[in-house]
Amino acid sequence: MAKRVPELSLSDFTAGDAAAFSDALMRGLQDYGFIILKDHGVPVDLLGKAYGLAEAVFALPEEVKRRCAAGLRGYTPFGTEHAKDSRHPDLKEFWQIGREAPAGVEIDEDLPPNVWPAELPDFRPTFERLFGALDETGRTLLRALAPKLGLPAGHFDPLVRHGTSILRVLHYPPVDDGIAAGCVRSAAHEDINFLTIMVAAKGAGLELLDRDGTWLPVETDPTNLIVDSGDMLQRLTNGIIPATTHRVVNPAGPNVSRYSMPFFMHPSSAVPLDVLPSCVGDGAKYPPITAGDFLAERLREIGLTK
């Protein structure tokens, strides 16, 4: 039988057999590094609205978009980011929305303000809502995963509640004929964070590197979410949950724009990424580092900070 990324229903966890869901989530991440999530609770009309605004924001004039560039928030122009070990820039532009410091709560984190496009008044409320909904889904998934790692269900909650999670709205424009050989929409990479919860793209192209060394397309209905495990979870689990290499290939069919929206779930910067006691086995494979230092190192390696 052809291999397929496992499909899970989040309602099994919230209103069904929670232990069976936890088993399937753990197995999916171990075997594929990816799962498809149905019945995730993020309203489908919100996903539709977000897609519409993603198209609108990237259609704004280049100088308007560039005025909304503010480092890790707002707009990042085409050709800025490259995968960690790639010499070529990825063929994408993106807009990043971060967590903002909660009103009235003192937190030990530098959370810069977001940048909003004045031309699109619906952009801010829509993406604030989507950020909140994906954040909630991510916390639920971490609650489902915790018992599989010998942890109490609520273990991750305080680590991620004020963390540096970021929602990235991505646009891959039609690929130019004159593009340099070796340039792809998104070169092979692993995500940096704990989990990525991604609004499934409308177009094909996402592929994961399967455990047998072949590229496996990750395809699903755009009303579903796609979840993958990142490097920080790999470190915590001593590699028991690996960060799976994935990429976005150039269009094989019609040469049209592709949009996607990954939400990268990060803990607070001060959180140590030490290997969990239940996963140490014969010894930790990774030296201790905080989430903040690890993120800073990786952002430099992909060209997003100096």
Ligand X SMILES: O=C(O)CCC(=O)C(=O)O
Residue 146 is which amino acid?
A: A
Q: Which pairing describes strands 225-229 and 246-248: parallel, antiparallel, or unpaired?
A: unpaired
Shortest distance in whole angstroms from residue 283 CB to ligand X: 30
What residues between 177 and 196 interact with Fe ion by CB under 5 A? 191
| Alpha carbon separation from 281 to 13, 109, 273, 292 (Å, rounded) | 29, 33, 16, 26
> Are 5 and 132 in contact, with CB atoms under 8 Å apart?
no
Shortest distance in whole angstroms from residue 104 CB to ligand X: 33
| Alpha carbon separation from 213 to 32, 115, 135, 137 (Å, rounded) | 11, 40, 32, 30
| Residue closer to ligand X (CB basis): 149 or 184 | 184
Q: Which of 69, 194, 201, 78 is nearest to 137 (CA)?
A: 194
Shortest distance in whole angstroms from residue 200 CB to ligand X: 8
Shortest distance in whole angstroms from residue 191 CB to Fe ion: 4
73 binds, among Fe ion, ligand X, none (CB under 5 to 8 A by kind): none
Under the binding rule (CB under 6 A), the answer on residue 96 touching ligand X is no
Under the binding rule (CB under 6 A), the answer on residue 170 touching ligand X is yes
248 binds, among Fe ion, ligand X, none (CB under 5 to 8 A by kind): ligand X
Sequence-separated contacts (24+) of 134-137 with Cβ below 8 Å: 134/42, 134/167, 134/197, 134/199, 134/225, 134/263, 135/99, 135/160, 135/165, 135/263, 135/265, 136/41, 137/10, 137/37, 137/40, 137/41, 137/42, 137/197, 137/225
Under the binding rule (CB under 5 A), the answer on residue 207 touching Fe ion is no
| Cα angle 286-98-117, degrees, rounded to a multiple of 5 | 150
Shortest distance in whole angstroms from residue 121 CB to ligand X: 26
Shortest distance in whole angstroms from residue 168 CB to ligand X: 6
Q: Considering only residues 33, 89, 138, 262, which one is a binding residue for ligand X as defined by CB under 6 A?
A: 262
> Are 39 and 21 in contact, with CB atoms under 8 Å apart?
no
Helix orientation angle between 18-31 and 123-145, rounded to the nearest 10 degrees:
100
Q: Considering only residues 143, 171, 246, 266, which one is a binding residue for ligand X as defined by CB under 6 A?
A: 246
The contact mask relative to ligand X for 187-226 (x = CB under 6 A, - = no) is ----x---------x----x--------------------
| Residue closer to ligand X (CB basis): 22 or 234 | 234
Number of residues that bind ligand X (CB under 6 A): 10
Shortest distance in whole angstroms from residue 81 CB to Fe ion: 11
Side-chain half-sphere CA neighbours of 241 within 13 A = 33
The contact mask relative to ligand X for 4-43 (x = CB under 6 A, - = no) is ----------------------------------------
Number of residues that bind Fe ion (CB under 5 A): 1
| Residue closer to ligand X (CB basis): 99 or 171 | 171
Q: Under the rule (CB under 5 A), what is the footprint of Fe ion?
A: 191
Q: Under the rule (CB under 6 A), what is the footprint of ligand X?
A: 168, 170, 186, 191, 201, 206, 246, 248, 260, 262
